[in-house]
Structure 1
Amino acid sequence: MNGTQDPHARPVVRLDAVSRLYGGPKNRVTALDNVSISLKRGTFTAVMGPSGSGKSTFLHCAAGLDRPTSGAVHLDGVDLGLLREKALTKFRRERIGFVFQAFNLLPALSVVDNVTLPLRLAGKRPNKAVVDEVLEQVGLSGKRRSRPGELSGGQQQRVAIARALVTQPAVIFGDEPTGALDTRPAAEVLMLVRQSVDVVGQTVVMVTHDPVAASYADRVVFLADGRLTGVVDRPTVEQVTEQLQKLGTWGDPFGIQRTGHEVRR
């Protein structure tokens, strides 16, 4: 043996004792508190917890959008803490895909131009075969020349997913990707994400409030007060809801969490 580790056996995302603090000594907030976790390649992980639990901070640190106060983040074998800002931006563009609740499409561009935008911004010429394959994968081959305003919400999110897939990233991070969608298009988007994991081996990490969305994942990770509090493998809606109820933040059987200013489904 030469001691070389198979890159496919190596965790694609690894957080080692990551903490993220905000504010000064008098108003310090600990958003993440000594979090360590490894996520395998070709898996779908959902991240859940009450408002203020650290979900978004977890995603931002894991994706290199924010730097931890202490600890280390490795993504696709690279220690993100060793990268300067310019190199980190290039790494995110090439190796990470993002899908947010807001579709973030440019209204003046066609579907195909929105999908290939990350490649063009990176100075790369889109590979037509790859673009065609991705559009086929998300069911939008017949909408290549359509503008976002001519598409439904579910179709627009499919464009956003295709845009994330086209760079063939090591991992896709989703932040409430179905939060703005009704039940049926949300289910279609989640099935599409699930298929990208099962068929092409994509790695997906998704923050969500919704137990139904989480049930599509291989694994659900729960956060509370910035700490990891539990993990459920092969989750069901009932298991996820029960775990959230144990955290004392989930009392609505219809999967709706009410905070002071919003209702999230």
Structure 2
Amino acid sequence: MDTIAVADTVRLNAVRKVYGEGANSVTALDGVTLTFERGSFTAVMGPSGSGKSTFLHCAAGLDRPTSGTVLLDGEDLSGYDETTLTKMRRERIGFIFQSFNLLPALTVLQNITLPLKLAGRRPNRARVTEVIQRVGLGERTGHRPAELSGGQQQRVAIARALVTGPAVVFADEPTGALDTRTAREVLRLMQESVQSLGQTIVMVTHDPVAASYADRVVFLADGRFVGDIYHPTAEVVAERMTHLGAWADEQPAAGGRQMRTSTGGTY
């Protein structure tokens, strides 16, 4: 394994994704090159139609790029057939969704250990217990989703994503269905999993406050990577969002903190 594979959990090289053909084709991603370091928490933001969802689907191996490559721990996902890709996602990628996606008939414990059972792996009791305690659900393992609050359900989803010890966790608007207090608790839990477990998290969000919990915010516009900010604040992120893509045509020149662009300059 080369040095890039050691340093970066996920790497996209010149990824393009085109839907449709000819005059009806739509370019959702247009040559995106990005890396996500091991043990980092990155938020991905952009206006509606910027390519955030397509980015997540390609980076997580849920969709194949039209061209370019996606590497997970240095391995090119395009070399996998669908069966191998499905197995890889179960074992090495965790997912957290806005709608929780828990199975209502299963208990908290059963929902958390489901990915292990699907992968044909015997649950490690110590690991499962550690994850459950970390997300604060030690007294709720026998409950079903309907008996839990929205925040508790999202904690189950986080534990489910972490229990396999994945290389990376992709979170798609994980706080979108939560009130602000509960969202803050969930975001702090995600921060803790990065800081304490060395987990890599990539979170797609539209919320500048949620993005401020990340180490880095990556911005997409019109299917392209247009810059990033390290150590973000909600105010700086919100301001930058007004200067992306077509929105920039209606705004005065950006001021304040500089944002690194995809060409290495700043504005």
Scaled by the length of structure 1, what TM-score is found?
A: 0.91
Counterparts of 1:1-265 in structure 2 under 5 Å? 5=2, 9-247=6-244, 248=247
Partner amino acid for 1:158?
A: R
CA distance in 2, matches of 1:6, 1:46: 24
Residue 47 of structure 1, CA deviation = 0.3
Give the superposed CA RMSD: 1.5
Aligned mates of 2:38, 2:96 — CA distance in 1: 18
After TM superposition, give the deviation of residue 5 of structure 1 in Å: 4.3
The Cα shift of 1:9 comes to 3.7
1:54 positional shift: 0.1
Identity percentage over the alignment? 66
Helix, strand or coil: the match of 2:7?
coil
Q: Secondary structure at the match of 1:42?
A: coil
Query: How many Å apart are 1:70 and its aligned residue?
Result: 0.3
**Matched residue type, 1:174:** A
CA–CA separation in structure 2 for the residues paired with 1:80 and 1:8:
13
Give 3-state SS (helix, strand or coil) of 1:57's partner: helix
Q: What is the TM-score normalised by the length of structure 2? A: 0.90
Paired residues of 1:173 and 1:204 also in contact (CA < 8 A) = yes
- List gaps (5 residues or longer) in structure 2: 252-267
Q: Classify the secondary structure of the residue corresponding to 1:103.
A: coil
Structure 1 runs, 4 residues or longer, greater than 6 Å off: none
Per the alignment, residue 257 of structure 2 pairs with none
What are structure 1's unaligned runs of at least 5 residues? Answer: 252-265
Instruction: Give the AA of the match of 1:74.
Output: L
Q: Is the 8 A contact 2:5 2:73 kept in 1?
A: no
Distance 2:2 2:118 in 1: 33
8 Å Cα contact 1:80-1:88 kept in structure 2 = yes
Distance, in Å, in 1 between the alignment partners of 2:119 and 2:198 is 24
Cα distance in 1 for residues equivalent to 2:89 and 2:199:
16
Check the 8 A contact 1:8/1:41 in 2, yes or no.
no
Do the aligned partners of residues 110 and 76 (structure 1) sit closer, same or farther apart at CA in structure 2, a change above 3 Å counting?
A: same
CA–CA distance in structure 1, aligned partners of residues 33 and 3 of structure 2? 22
CA shift in 2, pair 1:53/1:157, >3 Å: same
Q: Is the 8 A contact 1:176 1:207 kept in 2?
A: yes
Q: Aligned to 2:213, what secondary structure does the other structure show?
A: coil
Determine the C-alpha separation between the residues in 2 that align with 1:172 and 1:157: 14
Shift of 1:190: 0.2
Aligned residues: 248
1:246 partner SS: coil
